[in-house]
Amino acid sequence: MCSKVGWRARYSDGQVIGQANDNPILDMRKYVIEFPDGHELAYTTNLIAENMYTRCDIHRNQYLLLKAIFYHSFDESAAMKGEKGPHHHPKTTKAWNLPVEWKDRLTSWENLADLKE
């Protein structure tokens, strides 16, 4: 489920927050975002645009862009039979897990086989 852009955020005196700009990266207007679980947060247009650009192509296909892999681990099921030891590196990607940072700043542990796809 996706979040929905709601309305312009305003100061307590009713004035809208932020300045418009033709370049979406420089647009500082704030909008209230409604999340699927019901909570609402205000974000600037440039952050909304950045999130959209890193998740969707022009045909509305969603994808995630990988920013960095910052560690790795594997469990013993990755080792080949008879080749276990402190300096052994497994010959398979079956049990390799990688923590990745995505362009939208979220992080998650992913299986190497899935990342290879």
* pLDDT at residue number 55: 67
Q: Pick the residue with more confidence: 16 or 84?
A: 16
Question: Do residues 48 and 9 share a domain?
Answer: yes
- For residue 80, pLDDT over 60 is answered with no
Question: Do residues 73 and 109 share a domain?
Answer: yes
Q: How many other CB atoms sit within 10 Å of the CB of residue 30?
A: 19
Q: Phi, psi at residue 50, to the nearest 5°?
A: -60, -45
Question: Do residues 76 and 101 share a domain?
Answer: yes
Range of the domain at 22: 4-55
Question: Do residues 50 and 14 share a domain?
Answer: yes
pLDDT digits (tens, 9 = 90+) for 15-36: 999 999 888 778 899 999 888 7
* Total domains, the chain: 2
What is the edge-to-edge ordering of all strands in the sheet holding 30-34? 4-8, 30-34, 40-44
Q: Which of 27, 55, 83 is the last residue of a domain?
A: 55
Q: What number is the average pLDDT over the span 100-112?
A: 77
Q: Pick the residue with more confidence: 111 or 64?
A: 111
Domain assignment of residue 100, yes or no = yes
Q: Which of 1-15, 52-66, 99-113 has the highest mean pLDDT?
A: 1-15
* pLDDT at residue number 13: 95
Q: What is the DSSP string of 28-91?
A: --EEEEEPTTS-EEEEEHHHHHHHHHHHB-TT--B---EEEE---EE-GGGSPTT--STT---S
Domain assignment of residue 60, yes or no = no
Question: Do residues 46 and 84 share a domain?
Answer: no
Q: Which of 16, 35, 55 is the last residue of a domain?
A: 55
* pLDDT at residue number 27: 86
pTM above 0.85, yes or no: no
